[in-house]
């Protein structure tokens, strides 16, 4: 098969392309960013999600995995989010239908519920959708557009609502996009300053003495934060099932780890790995505290996520020390 992977230069895209090449597929990558990878079965199209680049990338393609998207929670980025995620998804669906592509797999997000404000837990695919961020809205609109093209063109579609997902190495990186502000005090202060969340900044600042520290976050009632953090390799294994499995067509699946890690436990693992001091802070906001069901993917597709948070930290530590190098889909 020839598979088009959009967002091929991103966190998930790179791992996915490696896995597809490893199993013998031909791959086209479409990304506005450079993909620093070469392979005889890999075609790289550098461009954004416009008609010209989409038509070029769609040549000879049997299936599309549309995981390219812009992620931001900054209010000023709303238009860019709409252009990349809503218009971009429309452009790709239209090009895929014109090219008579068989299957279109769409990367949505738990932000459509959103997972941070659940009405019931564990969050299943039939949980009501009411996103609280423009990013979440763009993913929900993308899902609607995917459903429309499935109804009107006959293209097979699969919607995957991804969990928060990291490369294991990001957990040890204070400057990484997600794990930095999630687990490191100074990165969190910078992020919350950027968001304009002054009350959170004021709660954190007394703990900042200019040196880096690990952060355990609690909500205003003292509840420690808890959420699933998925290893990119587990997400990629689920995407491959969504691409291949006959029963996936027309369905929506939550994809990610089954484990919801408490941040005090997570920080204990990070402390053991980094030796950094730990601060435990009660924030003037409700706790992030959710668990998401993966039952549908497990029972329908045979999905089997394997990476626990502890295994991710151990793997990242080993990689940092040069102890061993993981291949794309090796089990922990």
Element (H, E) at 138: helix 134-153
148 Cβ partners below 8 Å, 6+ apart?
none
- Residue 180 in contact with ligand NAD, rule: CB under 6 A: no
Q: Which is nearer to ligand NAD, 9 or 288 (CB)?
A: 9
- Residue 19 in contact with ligand NAD, rule: CB under 6 A: no
Look at the alpha carbons of 239, 266, 299, 115 in this order and tell me if their dihedral is positive or negative.
negative
Element (H, E) at 157: strand 156-162
**Sole binder of ligand NAD in the list 1, 37, 43, 70 (CB under 6 A):** 70
- Contact status, residue 265 vs residue 216, Cβ threshold 8 Å: no
Q: Which is nearer to ligand NAD, 33 or 331 (CB)?
A: 33
- Residue 117 in contact with ligand NAD, rule: CB under 6 A: no
- Residue 138 in contact with ligand NAD, rule: CB under 6 A: no
- Residue 109 in contact with ligand NAD, rule: CB under 6 A: yes
Q: Which is nearer to ligand NAD, 47 or 286 (CB)?
A: 47
- Contact status, residue 156 vs residue 150, Cβ threshold 8 Å: yes
- Residue 65 in contact with ligand NAD, rule: CB under 6 A: no
- Residue 107 in contact with ligand NAD, rule: CB under 6 A: yes
**Residue burial 281-311, b: 16+ Cβ < 10 Å; e: rest:** bbbeeebbbbbbbbebbeeebebebebbbbb
Q: How far is the CB of 46 from ligand NAD (least distance, A)?
A: 9
Q: What share of the chain is helix, strand, coil (3-state, %, to 5)?
A: 45, 20, 40
- The stretch among 26-34, 92-100, 211-219, 314-322 that binds ligand NAD (CB under 6 A) is 26-34
Which of the residues are catalytic? 135
- Residue 159 in contact with ligand NAD, rule: CB under 6 A: no
Residues in touch with ligand NAD (CB under 6 A): 7, 9-13, 31-33, 48-49, 67-71, 84, 88, 107, 109, 162, 164-165, 178
């Amino acid at each position: 098969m020839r598979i088009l992977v959009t967002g091929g230069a991103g966190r998930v895209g790179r791992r996915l392309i490696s896995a597809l090449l490893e199993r013998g597929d031909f791959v086209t990558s479409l990304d506005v960013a450079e993909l620093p990878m070469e392979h005889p079965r890999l075609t790289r199209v550098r461009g954004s999600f416009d008609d010209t680049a989409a038509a070029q990338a769609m040549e000879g393609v049997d299936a599309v995995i549309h995981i390219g998207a812009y992620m931001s929670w900054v209010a000023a980025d709303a238009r860019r989010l709409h252009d990349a995620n809503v218009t971009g998804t429309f452009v790709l669906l239209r090009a895929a239908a014109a090219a008579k592509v068989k299957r279109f797999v769409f990367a949505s997000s738990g932000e459509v519920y959103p997972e941070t404000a659940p009405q019931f837990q564990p969050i299943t695919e039939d949980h009501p959708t009411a996103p609280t961020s423009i990013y979440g809205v763009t993913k929900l609109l993308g899902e609607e557009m995917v459903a429309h093209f499935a109804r009107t063109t006959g293209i097979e579609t699969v919607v995957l609502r991804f969990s928060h997902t990291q490369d294991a190495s990001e957990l040890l990186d204070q400057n990484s996009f997600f794990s930095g502000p999630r687990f490191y005090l100074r990165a969190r202060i910078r992020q919350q300053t950027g968001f304009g969340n002054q009350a959170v900044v004021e709660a954190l600042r007394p703990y900042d003495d200019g040196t880096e520290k690990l952060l355990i976050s609690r909500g205003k009632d003292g509840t420690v934060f808890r959420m699933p953090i998925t290893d990119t390799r587990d997400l990629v294994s689920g995407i491959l099932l969504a691409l291949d499995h006959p029963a996936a067509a027309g369905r929506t699946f939550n994809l990610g780890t089954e484990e919801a890690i408490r941040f005090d436990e997570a920080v204990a693992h990070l402390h053991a790995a980094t030796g950094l001091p730990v601060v435990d802070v009660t924030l003037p906001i409700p706790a992030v505290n959710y668990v998401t069901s993966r039952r549908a993917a497990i029972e329908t597709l045979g999905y089997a996520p394997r990476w626990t948070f502890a295994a991710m930290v151990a793997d990242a530590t080993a990689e940092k020390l040069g102890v061993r190098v993981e291949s794309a889909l090796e089990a922990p």
